[in-house]
Amino acid sequence: MPKVLISDELSPAAIEIFKARGLEVDFKPGLRKEELIAIIDQYDGLAVRSNTKATAEIIVAAKNLKVIGRAGIGVDNIDIPAATQRGIVVMNTPFGNSITTAEHAIALMFAAARQIAEANASTQAGKWEKNRFMGRELYAKTLGLIGCGNIGGIVADRALGLKMKVIAYDPFLSPERALAIGVEKVELGDLLARADVISLHVPMTEKTRNVLSRENLAKTKKGLILVNAARGGLVDEAALRDLLENGHISAAAFDVFTVEPAKDNPLFGAPNFIATPHLGASTNEAQENVALQVAEQMSDYLISGAVTNALNMPSITAEEAPRLKPFAALAEKLGAFAGQIADEGLEEVAIEYEGEVAKLNMKPLTATALAGLLRPLLQDVNVVSAPALLKERGVPLTESTREGSPIYESLIRIRVKTGGKWRTIAGTVIAGAPKIAEVKSMHLEAPFHPVMLFINNSDKPGFIGALGTLLGDARINIATFHLGREGEGADAIALVGVDQIVPDDVVAQIKALPQVRYVKVLRF
């Protein structure tokens, strides 16, 4: 029975979901780092919020961990590269707190436009400074969104309801999506020049770090209102302070900071600046939603292999998993075949999908094929770590699809370049079982066997008899025997399933046969 540790405060409903799905669960919030390291090897899953720091040290100690689930969107507290290297899926719940975060951005926008925080403090201090606090309407103003994904799209929808004009800078926003949600897609420079209000809705990456640098802030429209409820580090805080003090930016409202908890910050005490302590996801509804979602996602993965909202692995729905399963088994075995004949290392990899399989979710199939491919070379590899390991080693990967397959309903072909030459293996699924369908572009139909001899030979008389005699003399039983050839007397292959391990001296005798060009013992 899979076992899950919840190491942060999480809704009791999450615990009930884990239990109802048949998982064992321990609720231990507030563990110190040393305490977590001491027990983490007992668990298959780790559910966290933001307090637990899933560092590389903890991940190395997590010998049996298969999944880390973050109840929320931000994963700054999880070492994703370390988890990927160890083959641990990292999931988040990007949609559970979307409405809450978007509403907070809108609230900050209003608060900045109407100086609500300062007016509140003044009024409760017994002052009645009605003439001091002159606000601005948001009606008919231009809102510039930096990032227009899920949360940005919700902010856009609310802003359009306020009769604002919405423009968005987002390289991943398609023109069709922009049209559908009623925003104008623009370049960053255009947004900086036109926006009356800017709201940030991007993750923190090397590309987005300091997206509002001192230089870019100086390009903004005078009187700008700036809102950041996304991530700290997106804005040059010292530069923003200067622009608030000289009046170029009229107001700013931040929920996030470069260093958190923000005990001290260049923006604190700046004129017309509002700060909240990372409250974007802090509503009862959002916390309940993300807790339920992370429990469902982790349970699905541990029970059925379905992957949802993973940050280091392609998603697989519960509906897709049964359809993908036989092709995943095929991809893994084809990869293992290709990896075992890549005698001079990997220089390039190409994976081709033909027929019905090309209509499926191919990303997990590619990851599975790469795991099979790399395992003979690197040993400790799985579907999570394989794509990253291939990329880390600088091996180019190409994927291609073809609507039809000349012979089979579906075909997967793996080509590996090793020693400057391409080697090819292809297979299909017949009656739910993976089969070899092609080797070196020669057609044959062979099942995978736990131990197989792959022999490349010239098609000349005497080979089959000599091979059978050698194996018989060595007391090695032949389970399956399949042949393929280019033509009479030309290049040929033999795939021989055997019931015993073939000793090195027998392999050497097979290599010595005059017809044999190459021989390899394969294990599946």
Q: Which residues are the active-site residues?
A: 231, 260, 278
Longest CA span, the chain: 107
Here the tokens at position 46 are 């780790």
User: How far is CA 188 from each of CA 113, 152, 154, 199, 219, rounded to the nearest angstrom?
Assistant: 23, 15, 20, 13, 10
Rounded Cα–Cα distance for residues 235 and 232 (Å)? 7
Pick the closest to residue 480 from 494, 496, 465, 492 (CA basis).
496
Angle at alpha carbon of residue 197, lines to 194 and 201, rounded to 5°: 105
Strand 197-200 and strand 142-146: the pairing is parallel
Rounded Cα–Cα distance for residues 249 and 251 (Å)? 6
Strand 249-254 and strand 45-48: the pairing is unpaired
Pick the closest to residue 88 from 349, 334, 307, 346 (CA basis).
307
What's the sign of the alpha-carbon dihedral 57, 60, 64, 66? positive
Cα dihedral 152/157/158/159 (nearest 10): 80
Residue type, 153: G
Peptide bond connecting 261 to the previous residue in cis, omega within 30 degrees of 0: yes
Pick the closest to residue 108 from 228, 244, 211 (CA basis).
228
Q: Is 198 helix (H, G, I), strand (E, B) or coil?
A: strand
Pick the closest to residue 316 from 352, 89, 324, 358 (CA basis).
324
Q: Is 184 helix (H, G, I), strand (E, B) or coil?
A: strand
Pick the closest to residue 365 from 407, 333, 342, 394 (CA basis).
333
Residue in the block written with tokens 């400074």: 129
Residues whose CB falls within 8 Å of the CB of residue 273, separated by 6 or more in sequence, listed in order:
244, 251, 252, 253, 254, 267
Residues whose CB falls within 8 Å of the CB of residue 415, separated by 6 or more in sequence, listed in order:
338, 349, 350, 351, 352, 422, 423, 424
Rounded Cα–Cα distance for residues 283 and 80 (Å)? 27
Which residues in 282-291 are b (16+ Cβ under 10 Å) and which e? Answer: ebeebbbbbb
Residue 362 · residue 427 · CB < 8 Å? no
Residue in the block written with tokens 């009769």: 163
